């Protein structure tokens, strides 16, 4: 194109007519070429524009599809996070200790557990001392936002060691509701794009929990003041909520066997207080519970602290409904 113009650039045009025959083919040629070029340029520009436009849309969609990654420390807080993040576009909610069933009191994280934290933005903890691995998580993933769901809950001091608090807050429906509220508020701050959905999910789940609490309060009211014996330190918050008195915790450490002296003490207590129901847990089958039952005639019932269960939005509610049925049966006089 430039070569074609070379002569005309320097040749002065006498008149338009004179110039025309010279100009004409040139014009024609350049017009075609220019049109071709401008068409080509337009196409290139358009495709660049479209590509960048699509790229922006694509990236937005990818961000949306990628969503936020939330890792919860163990089952009960995982179920809370699942409800709070319900149907949020692109969200992924994982249970860090899914391979483990029970309270992670002294749980040491595996390499596979730690891998789940890669790329996560949020870590949901029960707090109150439940996650002994919290510090190593915070150290290894300094960018991770850690939500302490038990913040603001009136914690109960441990019976044995008054310097520590009992971490089983979620076993109380009211405290579980407080945890869900903390979680919902914090996640909405971290991922404000979906604030409306988090707020709605949080309100919906709290409404379900409130219905459960009212039902349990009313149906357990006749048994308020009942003395109960449990086999793991999981029920003080639950007992506080529904007015039960835990007179003994037979196995302070889950799965640990009480000494002969402790067994004799508990047997005497069951007989003296006229206790007819002993509460074991599905996660920790108790040999001691059956031994005490044998000696005293008390019956063993299974009360579930919701530390394991199905991967289901309503799992916690269903577990508590079942606990309600068990308690009504066990405490009926
Ligand atoms: Zn526990």
Domain at 230, CATH number:
3.40.50.1980
The answer to whether residues 81 and 202 belong to one domain is yes
Three-state secondary structure call for residue 86? coil
Residue 167 CB coordination number (10 Å): 22
The answer to whether residues 142 and 87 belong to one domain is yes
Structure tokens at 175: 């405290």
Decide which of 167, 201, 216 is a domain's last residue.
216
Nearest alpha carbon to residue 122 among 59, 183, 180, 63: 183
Tell me how many domains the chain contains. Answer: 3
The answer to whether residues 200 and 266 belong to one domain is no
The answer to whether residues 61 and 75 belong to one domain is no
**Global pTM value:** 0.80
Nearest alpha carbon to residue 98 among 82, 83, 86: 82
Distance from Cα 84 to the centre of ligand 1, integer Å: 24
The answer to whether residues 145 and 271 belong to one domain is no
Nearest alpha carbon to residue 211 among 154, 172, 173: 173
The answer to whether residues 60 and 86 belong to one domain is no
Q: Which residues contact 60 (CB under 8 A, 6 or more apart)?
A: none
Distance from Cα 79 to the centre of ligand 1, integer Å: 17
Decide which of 65, 100, 119 is a domain's last residue.
65
Distance from Cα 307 to the centre of ligand 1, integer Å: 8
Beta-sheet strands, E only, within the chain: 69-72, 92-95, 122-125, 145-148, 227-230, 245-249, 277-280, 299-302
Residue 20 structural domain: 2-65
> Is residue 296 within 8 Å of residue 270, measured between CB atoms?
yes
From first to last of the 333 residues of the chain, give the pLDDT tens digit: 333 222 222 233 333 333 333 333 333 333 334 555 555 565 455 555 555 555 555 554 545 557 999 999 999 999 999 999 999 999 999 999 998 888 898 899 999 999 999 999 999 999 999 999 999 999 999 999 999 999 999 999 987 777 899 999 999 999 999 999 999 999 999 999 999 999 999 999 999 999 999 999 999 999 999 999 998 899 999 999 999 999 999 887 766 788 999 999 999 999 999 999 999 998 887 889 999 999 999 999 999 999 999 999 999 999 999 999 999 999 997
Distance from Cα 76 to the centre of ligand 1, integer Å: 11
Dist CA 227 CA 247 (whole Å): 6
Q: Would you mind telling me the total number of residues written for the chain in this entry? A: 333
The answer to whether residues 126 and 184 belong to one domain is yes
The answer to whether residues 180 and 203 belong to one domain is yes
Decide which of 216, 232, 262 is a domain's last residue.
216
> Is residue 151 within 8 Å of residue 99, measured between CB atoms?
no
CB hemisphere CA count around 254 (13 angstroms): 18
């Amino acid at each position: 194109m430039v070569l074609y113009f070379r002569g005309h650039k320097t040749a002065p045009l006498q008149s338009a007519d004179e110039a025309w025959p010279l100009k004409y083919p040139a014009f024609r040629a350049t017009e075609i070429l220019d049109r071709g070029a401008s068409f080509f340029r337009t196409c290139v520009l358009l495709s660049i524009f479209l590509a960048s436009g699509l790229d922006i849309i694509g990236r937005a969609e990818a961000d949306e599809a990628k969503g936020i990654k939330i890792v919860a420390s163990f089952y009960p807080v995982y179920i809370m996070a699942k409800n709070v993040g319900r149907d949020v576009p692109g969200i992924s909610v994982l249970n860090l200790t899914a391979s483990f069933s029970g309270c992670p009191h002294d749980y040491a994280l595996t390499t596979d557990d730690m891998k789940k934290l890669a790329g996560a933005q949020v870590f949901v903890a029960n707090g109150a001392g439940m996650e002994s691995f919290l510090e190593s998580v915070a150290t290894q993933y300094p960018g991770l936002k850690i939500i302490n769901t038990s913040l603001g809950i009136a914690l109960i001091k441990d019976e044995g060691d008054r310097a520590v608090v009992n971490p089983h807050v979620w076993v109380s429906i009211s405290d579980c509701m407080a945890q869900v509220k903390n979680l919902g508020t914090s996640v909405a701050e971290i991922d404000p794009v979906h604030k409306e959905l988090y707020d709605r999910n949080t309100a919906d789940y709290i409404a379900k929990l409130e219905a459960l609490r009212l039902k349990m309060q009313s149906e357990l009211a006749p048994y308020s003041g009942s003395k109960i014996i449990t086999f793991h330190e999981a029920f003080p918050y639950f007992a506080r909520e529904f007015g039960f008195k835990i007179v003994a915790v037979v196995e302070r450490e889950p799965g640990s066997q009480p000494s002969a002296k402790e067994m004799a003490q508990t047997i005497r207590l069951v007989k003296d207080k006229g206790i007819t129901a002993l509460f074991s847990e599905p996660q920790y089958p108790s040999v001691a519970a059956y031994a005490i039952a044998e000696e005293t005639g008390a019956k063993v019932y299974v009360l579930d602290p919701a530390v394991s269960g199905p991967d289901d939005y309503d799992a916690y509610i269903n577990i508590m409904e079942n606990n309600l049925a068990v308690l009504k049966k066990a405490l009926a006089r």
